[in-house]
A and B are shown apart, each in its own frame.
Chain A
């Protein structure tokens, strides 16, 4: 690293002296004493061009020495390409969802565990009593219901939504991927399975939420409008709401948080939920099949365009 820096400094000083040399020669030829501004202007231009030429010559030299791996040799000098993983629409869905879910958990869990002091603290001291906490819980519920409907419309109505929905459907590859991952964990496989756009891990996360939404919204609605049904509907709804609420909370905390927060690869958090982007490295690592597909599609597109230009030129 130090040697590299030394080389670079050396090149800088050469460029400086070379540009001085060029200006002196020019002054010698025209035999006119130039102003300071003129000299500065010319020096700036000359230095810039010399720098540009030298770095492009360096690139050429490197490529000649080692044709394939320019990028591998000098990765830090290259801006990494990013891929859009989640569109704006989907990111907004996720934001409304987690705001609602956190609200629901904070106001719901104390009622499942009323005997704990922290529960009483949240409901009585923080929220100002049962009435407020149930009201906030219902506001959270409305948020979640909106997300549910929004997502259904998105899955049916939007092109990306439709594509993603079909890609989310579990298939045989997921089963073999899972087995492969297990073999990888016990050391019988050198590399883990290669995932497409959605791994079985993400599919589990998605369908767990799907199942949770159906149970929670369904049972919650029964409890909300309990007077319309016989009481055992309410009792069943309450039992399911309480049990699934705990299961969903634990699943989120354990599974989702591990994958997007506590996993050493992304700790403390993957920011994809905010900007929707994945870097090329992440794409290659986590979704190699999708990456291949995108690159293949893009190269096909380039070939097609080149053919088109050729045709136009020839025609």
Chain B
């Protein structure tokens, strides 16, 4: 009887001491993984640290999850083979476990990254490469890999050269300066639905890049706040390049053809492709206007708006022709109407 009592008490005590699985599971793992020096040695001699900073997990969006919720293949200690975590266990559209729901999972599979992963490219990014592993913070957290200001760096960890160029560009510098309206990689390329630039669905494809730029540089664009002209889209569409694009031409210039794509700089930056002295070179690019003379484009107004007085002579020519056209048409129409009336009158008189 006494023995039975002890057994029951011990059991109750054990249950009381380890009530939920949650806290204790983490604690259990942390017995080893909180040690800073814990690591795994590979055959090559490389040491892979296995230290897990508990505070990171506590601040992450997964703070209420257990280690084994993600590392589901661990069932023995010490664990032998630990596979890369597959986020899709919870993150799929229509999931019931409370993971964010939406199109992004399917979008990713059809994106340039998703396709590369499926094709077996080991370097292609999976979820963790952009969202982090233990440090999956909300995008509002400053330390998040995809906090708006950190996105260039996140993408840049693979796209290093682009990152270097972008950081120097007017957009990169604006982002670094904390201007939240300035575009980071994802603003132009999209997030989960990033497509290759030669895919017509891509936000940066020939067919769509001008539209993408218009989102900010159009009449309702956010650049208005920063004293950047917003008539650029309208004037582009009015230009022969813009018309050519509307007619489906793949060879006419779009925004990026002249302004460059990552190395976009202001027109007052001597390194800019649209700096007055560099314009002839930009226009004279191979495949564009190789015969363009130095006078052709240097120091010229490129985006012409005939409706604005800033366009100078163009404005007056356009106005003059408008007046001429209206006068001529009014004259011709009234003449014809008078002629028809008189003819009708004559015909009546004859009858």
- Listed in ascending order, the chain A residues whose CB lies under 8 Å from chain B are 110-111, 114-115, 119-120, 123-124, 129-131, 133, 182, 184-187, 226-232, 235-236, 238-240, 243-244, 246-247, 250-251, 254-255, 258, 263-265
Assess whether B177 is interfacial by the CB under 8 Å rule: no
**Is there contact, CB below 8 Å, between A130 and B339?**
no
Tell me whether A235 and B246 are in contact in the complex, defined as CB-CB below 8 angstroms, given that A227-B296, A228-B293, A243-B321 are known contacts: no
- Which residues of the other chain, B, contact A250 by a CB distance below 8 angstroms? 325, 328-329
**Is there contact, CB below 8 Å, between B297 and A247?**
no
Given contacts A119-B247, A130-B248, A231-B300, 15 further A-B contacts (CB under 8 A): A120-B246, A120-B247, A120-B248, A129-B248, A182-B338, A186-B338, A227-B293, A227-B296, A230-B295, A231-B296, A247-B321, A247-B324, A250-B325, A250-B329, A254-B329
Assess whether B243 is interfacial by the CB under 8 Å rule: yes
Tell me whether A247 and B328 are in contact in the complex, defined as CB-CB below 8 angstroms, given that A124-B247, A232-B313 are known contacts: yes
User: Lowest 5 A-B CB distances belong to which pairs?
Assistant: A243-B321, A231-B300, A185-B338, A227-B291, A130-B249
- Stretch in B188-196, B210-218, B301-309 touching the partner: B301-309
- Which residues of the other chain, A, contact B251 by a CB distance below 8 angstroms? 131
Please give the distance in Å from B44's CB to the nearest CB on chain A: 57
**Is there contact, CB below 8 Å, between A185 and B300?**
no
Q: How far is the CA of A96 from the CA of B338 in the complex (A)?
A: 33
- Which residues of the other chain, B, contact A114 by a CB distance below 8 angstroms? 237, 242-243, 246-247
Please give the distance in Å from B196's CB to the nearest CB on chain A: 23
A235 CB contact (under 8 Å) in B289, B293, B304: B304
- Which residues of the other chain, B, contact A131 by a CB distance below 8 angstroms? 249, 251
**Is there contact, CB below 8 Å, between A240 and B321?**
yes
Q: How far is the CA of A171 from the CA of B31 in the complex (A)?
A: 110
- Which residues of the other chain, A, contact B301 by a CB distance below 8 angstroms? 231-232, 235
Which residue of A has the minimal Cβ distance to B320? A243
**Is there contact, CB below 8 Å, between A247 and B246?**
no
**Is there contact, CB below 8 Å, between B247 and A129?**
yes
Chain B, residues 247-275, CB within 8 Å of chain A (1/0): the string is 11101100000000000000000000000
Please give the distance in Å from A238's CB to the nearest CB on chain B: 7
Q: How far is the CA of A265 from the CA of B338 in the complex (A)?
A: 15
Which residue of B has the minimal Cβ distance to A245? B321
Which residue of A has the minimal Cβ distance to B249? A130
Interface majority SS (helix, strand, loop, mixed), chain A: helix
Which residue of A has the minimal Cβ distance to B339? A185
B244 CB contact (under 8 Å) in A130, A187, A230, A254: A130
Q: How far is the CA of A240 from the CA of B240 in the complex (A)?
A: 14
Assess whether B51 is interfacial by the CB under 8 Å rule: no
- Which residues of the other chain, A, contact B243 by a CB distance below 8 angstroms? 111, 114
Chain B, residues 143-167, CB within 8 Å of chain A (1/0): the string is 0000000000000000000000000
Interface residues of B in 302-351 (CB under 8 A from A): 302, 304, 306, 311, 313-314, 317-318, 321-322, 324-325, 328-329, 332-333, 336, 338-343, 345
**Is there contact, CB below 8 Å, between B300 and A230?**
yes
**Is there contact, CB below 8 Å, between A254 and B342?**
no
Q: How many residue pairs at the A-B interface have CB separations less than 8 Å?
A: 106
Tell me whether A236 and B248 are in contact in the complex, defined as CB-CB below 8 angstroms, given that A227-B291, A244-B321, A258-B336 are known contacts: no
Tell me whether A227 and B325 are in contact in the complex, defined as CB-CB below 8 angstroms, given that A120-B246, A236-B313, A236-B314 are known contacts: no
**Is there contact, CB below 8 Å, between A129 and B249?**
yes
Tell me whether A231 and B314 are in contact in the complex, defined as CB-CB below 8 angstroms, given that A114-B246, A254-B332 are known contacts: no
**Is there contact, CB below 8 Å, between A130 and B297?**
no
A240 CB contact (under 8 Å) in B249, B317, B343, B345: B317
- Which residues of the other chain, A, contact B311 by a CB distance below 8 angstroms? 235
Which residue of B has the minimal Cβ distance to A227? B291
**Is there contact, CB below 8 Å, between B339 and A110?**
no
Which residue of B has the minimal Cβ distance to A263? B339
Could you write out 12 A-B pairs with CB less than 8 Å apart?
A111-B247, A114-B243, A120-B246, A120-B247, A133-B247, A185-B339, A187-B345, A226-B289, A239-B306, A239-B318, A243-B317, A265-B343
Please give the distance in Å from A102's CB to the nearest CB on chain B: 20
**Is there contact, CB below 8 Å, between A254 and B333?**
yes
Q: How far is the CA of A96 from the CA of B138 in the complex (A)?
A: 71
- Which residues of the other chain, A, contact B341 by a CB distance below 8 angstroms? 185
Which residue of A has the minimal Cβ distance to B340? A264
- Which residues of the other chain, B, contact A264 by a CB distance below 8 angstroms? 340, 343
Please give the distance in Å from A89's CB to the nearest CB on chain B: 29
Assess whether B58 is interfacial by the CB under 8 Å rule: no
Q: How far is the CA of A187 from the CA of B341 in the complex (A)?
A: 11
Q: How far is the CA of A123 from the CA of B296 in the complex (A)?
A: 28
Q: How far is the CA of A124 from the CA of B302 in the complex (A)?
A: 27
- Which residues of the other chain, B, contact A232 by a CB distance below 8 angstroms? 300-301, 313-314
Q: How far is the CA of A123 from the CA of B318 in the complex (A)?
A: 25
Which residue of A has the minimal Cβ distance to B292? A227
- Which residues of the other chain, A, contact B345 by a CB distance below 8 angstroms? 187
- Which residues of the other chain, B, contact A244 by a CB distance below 8 angstroms? 321
Which residue of A has the minimal Cβ distance to B313? A236
Please give the distance in Å from B289's CB to the nearest CB on chain A: 6
**Is there contact, CB below 8 Å, between B342 and A243?**
no
Q: How far is the CA of A214 from the CA of B252 in the complex (A)?
A: 29
A185 CB contact (under 8 Å) in B292, B318, B342: B342
- Which residues of the other chain, B, contact A235 by a CB distance below 8 angstroms? 301, 304, 311, 314
Which residue of B has the minimal Cβ distance to A238? B240
Tell me whether A130 and B247 are in contact in the complex, defined as CB-CB below 8 angstroms, given that A185-B342, A250-B329 are known contacts: yes
Please give the distance in Å from A254's CB to the nearest CB on chain B: 5
A130 CB contact (under 8 Å) in B252, B293, B321: B252
**Is there contact, CB below 8 Å, between B318 and A243?**
yes
Which residue of B has the minimal Cβ distance to A262? B336
Please give the distance in Å from B149's CB to the nearest CB on chain A: 39
Which one of A123, A227, A244, A251 has the greatest number of beta carbons of chain B within 10 Å? A227
Tell me whether A115 and B246 are in contact in the complex, defined as CB-CB below 8 angstroms, given that A232-B313, A254-B333 are known contacts: yes
Q: How far is the CA of A240 from the CA of B339 in the complex (A)?
A: 31
Please give the distance in Å from A291's CB to the nearest CB on chain B: 20
- Which residues of the other chain, B, contact A228 by a CB distance below 8 angstroms? 293, 296
**Is there contact, CB below 8 Å, between A239 and B336?**
no
